[in-house]
Amino acid sequence: MLSGDAPQPRREQTLEVVKFVARRIRENPGETWEDRWKVWNRTCRKDWTYRSYNGFAQVYRRFVSDYVYRKYEHPNYKKRGRTPCEAYRDDWNDRITGRKGRHVG
């Protein structure tokens, strides 16, 4: 994936984990990841359980780093020079209007 591309869409399970964790952090700020993981495994679908709380926490942390705190990188293209037609137009505008160099380009 190129750095300027949008992040890939996430699986439904990942989005549910993020919503669950965000809600639990809001409701129980002092709760540990292990406690959140145990509650998740008790309340979620059977095929969405995690073997350890580390994997569960990793899903949330990766989502946050990829989407919430994603670093923006500027495009790496160079500004092109003026074409002969643009140069003629700008010169003509400068001569006719008397506004030397006020055009952008």
What's the rounded Cα separation, in Å, for the pair 27 and 31?
Answer: 9
Structural domains counted in the chain: 2
Same domain as 21, residue 55? yes
Q: Read off the pTM.
A: 0.59
Distances from the Cα of 53 to the Cα of 21, 57, 74, 79, 87, angstroms? 12, 6, 36, 49, 64
Whether residue 57 is found in the same domain as residue 32: yes
pLDDT band at 1 (very low <50, low <70, confident <90, very high): very low
**56 and 29 fall within a common domain:** yes
Proportion of the chain above pLDDT 70, given as a percent? 85
Contact 9, 66 (CB under 8 A): no
Q: Residue 81 belongs to what domain range?
A: 76-105
Tell me: the pLDDT tens digits for 7-61? 566 689 999 999 999 999 999 999 999 999 999 999 999 999 999 999 999 999 9
Cα–chain center distance at 71: 7
Query: Per-residue pLDDT tens for 65-98?
Result: 888 887 777 778 888 888 999 889 888 888 888 7
Looking at beta carbons, which pairs linking 30-35 to residues 24 or more positions away fall under 8 Å? 33/57
